[in-house]
Amino acid sequence: MIEGVSGDEWVSNVLGGRVHTKSDARGERQYVTDENDTIPLAMRAWELARSRMEPLSKTLRRWATCNERSPELTEATAIIRKYELAKLREGRLDFSDMIAGFAGVRFTVDGPVEIEPMGDTPESLRVLAVDEAQDSSPLVDRVCRRLAGGGRVERIWLCGDPYQSIHSFAGGDYSLFLAWDADEYTMPQSYRCPSEILALGERCLRQMNRGYRDRGIRPASNGGRVDQVGSACEAIDRLTADSSA
C-alpha cells in the first residue's frame, strides 16, 4: 500500500526529485515537489480522473476551462504511466486502486475499464449508512452501490443535502446522491442554524441554484446573527440583491 512517509519515498524514487504529500486547508491530500511542479499537477489530475472515473484528458480540459494550472496531456500521461508501471512491477496499490478493485474497475489514462470485482461484500452487513452522500464521487458512489447490493443488506440510509455539496473539486457530484431509487425524508427542523442564518442561506441558494425549492425547514430555536465583512459581504450582497426574502 502506498501511503505515509514510506509511500512518499517510493513515489520520489519512481518519479524523481523529492515528492511528498500534505493535507491542505480542505483536508485534501496534495502532491508536492521541490523541483518540478509538473509532477504534482499530473498526480493531482490522476487522482481526480480516477475519482470522477473519466479520461485524464477530460480532467485536464476541465482545469483549463476553470483557468486552473495544468500540465500538458503528453507530459502528464508520461508521468502517470511511469507511476502505474512501477506499481505493476512491484505489486503495489494506492488507495484509489484498492477501492476501484472492490468496485470492479481498473484505470487507464483513457478512462476506466470494467473488471471482475475484487473481494466480497461483508456477510455481517445488514444496514448501510452513507453520510454526506451529496459529496460522493462517481468512484465512491460505485463502491456504495456494490455494498448496497450485498445479499444480506436489509436497509440503506443515504444522508445528505444536495444544497450542501462542496467537494466538486475532489470529484463530488450531488446528482449521484439524487439518482438512488429511494424514499425521501426531509428533516423538518435545523438544529444548527437560527432564523437569521437560515434565511440568509436560503436567499443565497435561490440565486445560486436554478433547481432551488423551498423545503420548509424550520430554524433552530437558539438565537444568532449574521456578520458580513470584506469580500464575503460583497459576494453575499451580489447574490441577494435581486432575491426576495
Same domain flag for 87 and 52: yes
Could you list the residue range(s) of the whole structural domain that residue 129 is in? 120-185
Give me 23's grid cell: 493535507
Same domain flag for 58 and 40: yes
What phi and psi values does residue 142 have, to the nearest 5 degrees?
Answer: -65, -40
What does the alpha-carbon distance between residue 45 and residue 56 come to, in Å, rounded to a whole number?
7
Percent of the chain with pLDDT over 90: 54
For the residues 144-171, what does the mean pLDDT come to? Answer: 93
Same domain flag for 102 and 146: no
Same domain flag for 81 and 153: no
pTM: 0.85
53-97 pLDDT, tens digit each: 999 999 999 998 886 788 999 999 999 999 999 999 999 999 999
For the residues 166-174, what does the mean pLDDT come to? Answer: 91
Domain boundary pick from 88, 113, 138: 113
- Domain total of the chain: 3
Give the C-alpha distances (Å, rounded to integers) separating 224 from 47, 55, 199, 228: 40, 46, 11, 13
> Which residue type, as a one-letter code, is found at position 164?
Q
What does the alpha-carbon distance between residue 165 and residue 179 come to, in Å, rounded to a whole number?
15
116-151 pLDDT, tens digit each: 999 999 999 999 999 999 999 999 999 999 999 988
Same domain flag for 232 and 242: yes
Q: For the beta carbon of residue 80, count every other beta carbon within 10 angstroms.
A: 20
